Amino acid sequence: MADMIYRVNMATMSFKIEDVPADWMGLGGRGLTSVIVASEVDPECHPLGPNNKMVFAPGLLSGTSAANSGRNSLGAKSPLTGGIKESNVGGTLAGIMAKLGVKALIIEGIPEDDSTFYHIHVSKNHVKIEAVPNLVGKDNYFVLDAMEKKYNKKVAVMTIARPGEMKMLVSNISVRDPKGKLRSYGRGGLGAVMGSKKIKCITIDAENYKEVTYANSDKFKEASKIFTKSLKDNPISGEGMPAFGTNVLVNIINEAGALPSRNFRTGNSENAEKICGETMAENIKARNGSTTHGCHAGCVIQCSQTYNDKDGNYLTSGFEYEMIWAFGANLGIDNLDTIAAIDALMDDLGLDAIEMGVCLGLAVDAGILKYGDGEEAFRLIKDEVPNGTPIGRILGAGTGYLGKLYGLVRVPVVKNQSIPAYEPRAIKGQGVTFVTTPMGADHTAGYAVGSNILNVGGTVDPLKKDGQIELSRNLQIASAAIDSTGMCLFIAFSAIDDPVCLPALIDMLNARFGTTLTGDDVTNLGKMILKTERAFNIKAGLTSADDRMPEFMKYETLPPHNVTWDFTNEEIDEFWNF
């Protein structure tokens, strides 16, 4: 049976199942969510009002046997940036949605009776909406347990915790992973959008789905084999990432003088050795954890891990570089176990690790806590934020608003979204991505750290402006296309370095759908997505003046390289000439 669009209206508490319009047919993941948001959501709408929509879509290859194809996209207007947002996540969701034949799940409207929260259950040809007063005020793991009991261990679950119910801009949406832990649609305050629609959780039936079909399954298998081998043979995705996770970056970025520390005051952290991937891997080994874990079935890279405490008890998983950077280098907590405990707490509370971490880094400047005080950071996140106390509300609004409320100037945001983990003055290509992506400061939108620092996909001097605009543009086009396939972005290390990887990916798309796509078609898809997103943002009121770095980075030099953000506006605006 053909894939369908499932449309849920929270105002009328009803659903419709629709055919896929012809011009959405060839799209999936980010391509589909951005096109739907752009065509159905009024760019001027209030992101938390009745006219915003949430659009969930699995990638084009999700549900297939292709390695690393289990990412699911969520699109909406972001209450944090005021622009379009696409956020994607692993977990079991994408595969289950695709196998159920759900091309996209669109949720619109706001319930008239907003005295409670609702649970949406999607199954074959059916959507059930019911009030769940017993889940109101509960956090993610409680909801996960309740859903596993109600259905089974396989059911796909998306949920918000208390901060999402309170529509805080640091709130995210959490998704169940294969081990019953959580991954998240991290950025852009999408938990607040779900909260505004009074949706506590969404489950997708995993019992009655059909396997996806292939136009040519032999060709698919052949291409899939080549693709998997390429990922496994690559030194980064095959060895480095499984051994150290993404946190291997702490030492590299620190050595390069680009690890933002003390709220972006220097490019080196005195804590690097204590919080780095090598130290983390040592702890994991000594405590019987595991350095390898996939955020979804079919991941052959396994950058995730299980991190135990000193007594060998589970502490957290999905312990990422950006999280560890935010709390370890930028906020100054020099103990990995403390950071891990905060990570686990934020998983349960559904908080964006980057937005919350950068916000607390700025809160030091505001005098709210002291640099390096992990105990107080933990307390603020545990007791103030989810209880909606006045200070909890202030921190829960994210870095940009905290800066305004306290009259601070050194506020590291672009389009009101916190800058993550890579100092733009010292990794200029990444800075170009931060200012130009329609998403607000987002490292995954075009990962120039690859050629600027890691010698992947060529080398471009991170401290010079030369070649950076073009680099970021090419990466953003490629990333938008990859985000549409359901592939995890970490396939890029192989896609860039191994000439057989990308053709194999395109062969898989063609064998799945019976199409004759070429590399050019994929590039054009990426361009179309970026332009669609940009056009939405312009109508929403974001202009070139929003494609800018915070001013302090233009006049304050960053040690150790003593560099500033020195692109002119004209140079940056060149980005959109394609």
Partner 1 sequence: MNQRINITLKLFAQYREGNFKVEQRVCKSGTTPQDIIDELGITKHLPLGILMVNAKHENEKYVLQEGDTLSLFPKVGGG
Taking the C-alpha atoms of residue 262 and residue 266, their distance in angstroms, rounded to an integer, is 7
Given the complex with partner 1, which of 163 and 450 has the nearer CB atom? 450
Q: Which of 160, 157, 147 is nearest to 195 (CA)?
A: 160
- The answer to whether the CB of 35 falls within 8 A of the CB of 526 is no
- Asked if 274 and 280 touch (Cβ cutoff 8 Å), the reply is no
- 280 token code pair: 């983390």
Q: Which amino acid is it at 311?
A: D
- What is the closest distance, in whole angstroms, from the C-beta atom of residue 472 to ligand SF4 in the complex? 22
Q: How many CB atoms lie within 10 A of CB 286?
A: 11
> Measured from the CB of residue 278, what is the shortest distance to partner 1 in angstroms?
6
Say how far apart CA 91 and CA 350 lie, in whole Å: 15
Note every long-range contact of 209-212, with CB atoms under 8 Å and residues 24 or more positions apart, other chains counting: 209/96, 209/99, 209/100, 209/101, 209/124, 210/1, 210/99, 210/100, 210/101, 211/63, 211/99, 212/63, 212/64, 212/98, 212/99, 212/512
Which of partner 1, ligand SF4, none interacts with 295 (beta carbon under 5 to 8 A by kind)?
ligand SF4
Q: Which of 420, 426, 492 is nearest to 254 (CA)?
A: 426
Q: How many Å apart are CA 71 and CA 47, to the nearest integer?
A: 24
Closest separation in Å from C-beta 324 to partner 1: 11
Out of ligand SF4, partner 1, none, which partner does residue 92 contact, by CB within 5 to 8 A per kind?
Answer: none
Out of ligand SF4, partner 1, none, what residue 235 binds, judged by CB under 5 to 8 A for its kind, is: partner 1
Q: Please check whether residue 112 is in contact with residue 316, taking contact to mean a CB–CB distance below 8 angstroms.
A: no
CB closer to ligand SF4, 94 vs 540? 94
Question: What is the smallest separation between the CB atom of 234 and ligand SF4, expressed in angstroms?
Answer: 12
Cβ distance to ligand SF4 smaller for residue 416 or 444: 444
- Site residues (vs ligand SF4, CB under 6 A): 68, 90, 294-296, 299, 301-304, 488, 490
Q: Which of 56, 76, 75, 299 is nearest to 156 (CA)?
A: 56
Q: What does 463 bind: partner 1, ligand SF4, none (CB cut-off 5 to 8 Å by kind)?
A: partner 1
* DSSP, residue by residue, 489-535: GGGHHHHHH-TTHHHHHHHHHHHHHT----HHHHHHHHHHHHHHHHH
Q: In the complex, which residues of this chain contact partner 1 (CB under 8 A)?
A: 235-237, 239-241, 243-249, 251-252, 255-257, 273, 277-278, 303, 321, 443-444, 447, 449-450, 453-456, 459, 461-463, 489-490, 493, 560-561
The least CB distance from residue 302 to partner 1, in Å, is 13
* Smallest gap from residue 230 Cβ to ligand SF4 (A): 14
Judged by beta carbon distances under 5 to 8 A according to partner kind, the member of partner 1, ligand SF4, none in contact with residue 262 is none
Distance CA 30, CA 59 (A): 8
Are the C-beta atoms of 272 and 336 separated by less than 8 Å? Answer: no
Distance CA 477, CA 526 (A): 4
Indicate the residue among 400 and 424 with the shorter CB distance to partner 1.
Answer: 424
> Which partner from the list partner 1, ligand SF4, none does 302 bind, CB cut-off 5 to 8 Å by kind?
ligand SF4
Closest contact distance (angstroms) between CB of 317 and ligand SF4 is: 10
- Supply the minimum distance, in Å, between the C-beta of residue 301 and ligand SF4: 4
Give the whole-angstrom CA distance, residue 559 versus residue 511.
Answer: 51
Residue 301 binds which entry of ligand SF4, partner 1, none, with Cβ cut-offs from 5 to 8 Å by kind? ligand SF4
Residue 296 binds which entry of ligand SF4, partner 1, none, CB below 5-8 Å type-dependent: ligand SF4
Using DSSP's 3-state secondary structure scheme, residue 57 falls into strand
337 binds, among partner 1, ligand SF4, none (CB under 5 to 8 A by kind): none
When the beta carbons of 59 and 267 are compared against ligand SF4, the nearer one is 59
Residue 122 or 303: the one with the smaller Cβ distance to ligand SF4 is: 303
- The DSSP-derived string for 159-205 is E--HHHHTT-TTB-EEEE-TTS-EEEE-SSSHHHHHHHTTEEEEEE-
Selection from ligand SF4, partner 1, none that 473 binds (CB < 5 to 8 A by kind) is none
Q: What does the block give as tokens for 250?
A: 């702490």
The minimum distance between CB 468 and ligand SF4, in angstroms, equals 26
Q: Of the two residues 143 and 489, which places its CB atom closer to partner 1 in the complex? A: 489
Nearer to partner 1, 13 or 252 (CB): 252
Query: Which residue lies nearer to partner 1 by CB, 98 or 275?
Result: 275
The option from ligand SF4, partner 1, none interacting with 255 (CB < 5 to 8 A, set by class) reads: partner 1
What is the smallest separation between the CB atom of 95 and ligand SF4, expressed in angstroms?
12
Least Å distance, CB 504 to ligand SF4, is 17
Burial of 400 (0-12, 13-18, 19+ CB in 10 A): buried
Residue 354 interacts with which of ligand SF4, partner 1, none, CB < 5 to 8 Å by class: none
- Please say which residue, 429 or 450, places its beta carbon nearer to partner 1: 450
Min CB(321)–ligand SF4 separation in Å: 11
Q: In what order do the strands lie in the sheet with 314-317?
A: 290-293, 304-308, 314-317
Q: Which is nearer to partner 1, 161 or 445 (CB)?
A: 445
